Amino acid sequence: MFVDVDGFKQVNDRAGHAAGDDLLCDIADRLRAALRAGDVVARWGGDEFVVIVESPGCRRDAAGLARSLLAAVRDLEPRACDPLATGVPHSKAAPGARPLGASIGVAMYPQDGREAEELLRVADRAMYRAKRAGGDALAFHDGLVEAALGAAGGGRGAPPALAPATATRPEPHAARRPAEGWGDGGRGG
């Protein structure tokens, strides 16, 4: 699964990079807590994470896990940082902050690819479909996008619906480097 945090740039812009860094650590912790033993989450770069699920079962099970990850990010509030206290976060939400969300692309082995690079590429493309559908959504390689649809709050908390994704996107970035330290309990780089 490829996970991109929706609204992260606004956190950096409004609350500062220290708050953004703290938020990424909080998100990594929340994602990890939503996973099962044996599953792995790693920061891929910027505000993107890769989740490797050991034996995800069927597509329905993978979608259920992705929904848990969406909820884990959605329930987190961006926090303001005290610039005089070396990045120690306050407990109140940053001024003008909107609720966070995530866009998740799902690739299934072996249906969507047999090599790690191919699965990452497919999941990345699916993630951009979820993002184009308005974010706070998950998308599969075959073009089905599951997005929260609702009247208030951009659909947060509403029952999911499936819709075909028809938009296309240019090729994803060719070079990415995962940050070190996320898989071993460190805070990452």
Distances (CA, A) of 81 to 8, 75, 102, 114: 15, 19, 22, 43
Contact status, residue 80 vs residue 18, Cβ threshold 8 Å: no
Across the chain, the runs of DSSP E, i.e. the strands, are 2-6, 40-45, 48-52, 79-81, 89-93, 101-106, 137-140, 144-148, 160-164
Provide the β-strand partners of residue 138.
Answer: 104, 146
Q: Where are the alpha helices (DSSP H) in 16-170?
A: 17-34, 59-74, 116-132
User: Active-site residues: which are they?
Assistant: 47
